Amino acid sequence: MTTTPVWSVDPRTGKQREQVAVEATPREVDEAVRAAHACRGALADAGARAAFLRAAAGLLDEAAAHVIEAADAETALGPGRLTGELARTTGQLRAFADAVDEGAYLDVRIDRADPSLSPPRPELRRYKVPLGVVAVYAASNFPLAFSVPGGDTASALAAGCPVVVKVHPDHPATSELCASLLRRAAVSAGLPADVVSVLHGFDAGLELIRHPLVAAAGFTGSLRGGRALFDAAAARPVPIPFHGELGSLNPVVVTPAAAAERAEEIGAGLAGAVTLGVGQFCVKPGLVLVPEGADGDRLADALTKALGETEPGVLLDHRMRENFVTGVRERAALPGVTAPVTPGSGGEHTVGAGYLTVSAGRLAGDGLAGDGAYEVLLEECFGPVTVVARYASQAEAAAVLGRLPGNLSATLQLSSAETEGAPGPAAGLIAQVTGLAGRIVVNGWPTGVAVAPAQHHGGPYPAATSHSTSVGGTAIERWLRPVAYQSVPEALLPAELREANPLGLPRRVTGG
């Protein structure tokens, strides 16, 4: 059988660095999934799971220099960015270990029998159980935090689900290194190494989502790729949950009062958010509604200055670079669209940051956009570019927002009077963008998604394919399903639901 090599490529030069692996065959996919499926019993031990997650975090920290060097060589993201990403990754692992120890994620509920009710209530005891093998599809732009040791993997393992990761081709060497550390951590905690395994290859990813023993999947990536996998998951004889993050425009609305109060500050902050990670964040602001007039002009001048001073950067791979350059060229060619700072090619391997500007009336569909050509300005363009739409009225801004699909985030830049005074137009904006996005930001920027219990990283389609979050403590809920036990004798109940509560779990009890 012919094998296809998997190469690590330097995005700074486009040259192959080393052969890392070969693409998995259907037989190897089957073997990996079956080996993971056999680990479910071992993962039932909550103490071992928590120890494993902490051991994985510890080994990643110990190997930090090696991990960061490998990731930088494959992504060009730089040691500073990757050091922070590694800390985020190990923090996620430890946070989910704490969640396993606490046990609240099991959502234990007990309703005691009450024959006096009409109809009588039987005794009911409910908690959540793991789904089974989880397929994780790694992201290109986060080689650690949304990859092999990332949040999907950590939350699935915490839930008690073994994981098979389909590696992203942009960082295969980093993925193999991280997988080896996670497998060592599993063994050190008394678990089989196969609680985590990795596969390479596009075809392997399709085989994985179709495997009958895969019970759920998590994905971070493009709309096209994610939708194909989502459809494959739904088309199986037994459909499975597919939790996909597929991309987002992440609109920003700057009110006239905010522009009057701090135009230069907003313009500089916007430039930083657009160019962070060379514009390769899923929550990069891709559409900014700025008022017409002198205050909006000041904001645009500040944005022009900041972006004009930004050095060209390297994208994750040359395919993304070509897509970025082509996408910017297509958008800039539309009538009425200008580029005060021209984004696009910055050299043979780099891209330059910039922005495009257009009247909000064209996006709102005032008759000038009747052929649908301007729809492309309402689509994500992955890289250091944003679209600034100048609006003449609040109604015009609201009309543009009304044309947007679902988003991961929506940001409002408000004045101090609008945030401190009685509810006014800002309250209406909050209500409108709440229908558009999973996270609402006021007077900040959406880049930098805090790993915290209250976080929600998701949103209406096409931002995500489900209403769950891929970041934060409740991400564990994606890999669990509830089971209720009615009138089951004490001796036959799982330990989590027994009357004496031998595991000391938090629980909600109704009745005497």
Say which amino acid occupies 339.
A
* Cα 366 to Cα 54, 68, 371, 373, 467, distances in angstroms: 56, 50, 11, 13, 33
Residue pair 290/391 in contact (Cβ under 8 Å)? The answer is yes
DSSP result, 464-507: BSSS--SSSGGGGGGGEEEEEEES--GGGS-GGG-TT-TT---E
Q: Which two tokens stand for residue 118?
A: 């009409």
Please, are residues 143 and 175 in contact by the beta-carbon 8 Å criterion?
Answer: yes
- Separation between Cα atoms, residue 449 and residue 309, nearest integer Å: 26
pLDDT digits 0-9 by tens, 338-358: 999 999 998 889 999 999 999
Q: What CATH homologous superfamily does 251-442 map to?
A: Aldehyde Dehydrogenase; Chain A, domain 2 (3.40.309.10)
Convert the pLDDT of each residue in 200-216 to its tens digit.
999 999 999 999 999 99
Mean pLDDT, rounded, for 115-139: 97
What are the backbone angles phi and psi of residue 143, rounded to the nearest 5°?
-70, -10
3-state secondary structure of 319: helix
The per-residue pLDDT for 365 is 76
Place of tokens 């996998």: 229
Alpha-carbon span 424 to 404, nearest angstrom: 23
- Could you give the CA distance from residue 73 to residue 79 in angstroms, rounded to a whole number? 10
Q: What is the pLDDT of residues 470-484, one digit of tens each?
A: 999 999 999 999 999
Mean pLDDT of the chain: 96
The tokens describing 442, both together, are: 């006021």
Q: Exposure of 463 by Cβ count < 10 A (0-12 exposed, 13-18 middle, 19+ buried)?
A: buried
| pLDDT tens sequence across 259-294 | 999 999 999 999 999 999 999 999 999 999 999 999
300 touches 339 (CB < 8 A): no
Looking at 221-230, 324-333, 369-378, which range is the least confident one? 369-378
Res 3: pLDDT: 87
- The CATH number of domain 24-101+129-246+467-482, selected from 3.40.50.2300, 3.40.50.2000, 3.40.605.10, 3.40.718.10: 3.40.605.10
How many alpha carbons lie under 13 Å from residue 148 in its C-beta half-sphere?
28
H helices, E strands: number in the chain: 16, 20
Q: Which of 39, 203, 74 is nearest to 148 (CA)?
A: 74
Give the DSSP per-residue string, 190-256.
Answer: T--GGGEEEE-SHHHHHHHHH-TTEEEEEEES-HHHHHHHHHHHHHSSS---EEEE-----EEEE-H
pLDDT tens-place string over residues 35-54? 999 999 999 999 999 999 99
Residue 305's pLDDT band (boundaries 50, 70, 90)? Answer: very high
pLDDT range class, residue 56, cuts 50, 70, 90: very high
Q: 370 by DSSP, 3-state: which?
A: coil
Quote the CA–CA distance of 136 and 368 in Å, as a whole number.
44
Residue 422 has pLDDT above 70, yes or no: no
Q: pLDDT at residue 512 above 80?
A: no
Closest CA to 472 of 95, 83, 43: 95
Query: Quick one: which of 258, 276, 280 has its CA closest to 267?
Result: 258
pLDDT at 54 (0 to 100): 98
Assign 425 a pLDDT band (cuts: 50, 70, 90).
Answer: confident
Tell me the average pLDDT across 182-187.
Answer: 98
- Residue 147: what residue type? S
The CA distance from 36 to 183, in Å, is 12
Which amino acids are annotated catalytic? 245, 282
**Identity of the residue numbered 116:** S
- DSSP alpha helices (H): ranges in 236-343? 256-275, 294-308, 318-332
What is the model's pLDDT at position 367? Answer: 45
Confidence of residue 407 (pLDDT cuts 50, 70, 90): very high
Whole-structure pTM over 0.75, yes or no?
yes
Q: Which of 201, 170, 175, 198 is nearest to 23 (CA)?
A: 201
- How many residues in total does the chain contain? 512
CA distance 480 to 425: 41
Contact assessment for residue 257 and residue 226, using Cβ atoms and an 8 Å cutoff:
no
Q: Which residue has the tokens 């330097």?
A: 10
* 360-373 pLDDT, tens digit each: 999 987 544 445 78
Burial of 492 (0-12, 13-18, 19+ CB in 10 A): exposed
Residue ranges of domains in the chain: 24-101+129-246+467-482, 251-442
> Which has the closest alpha carbon to 226: 138, 354, 322?
138
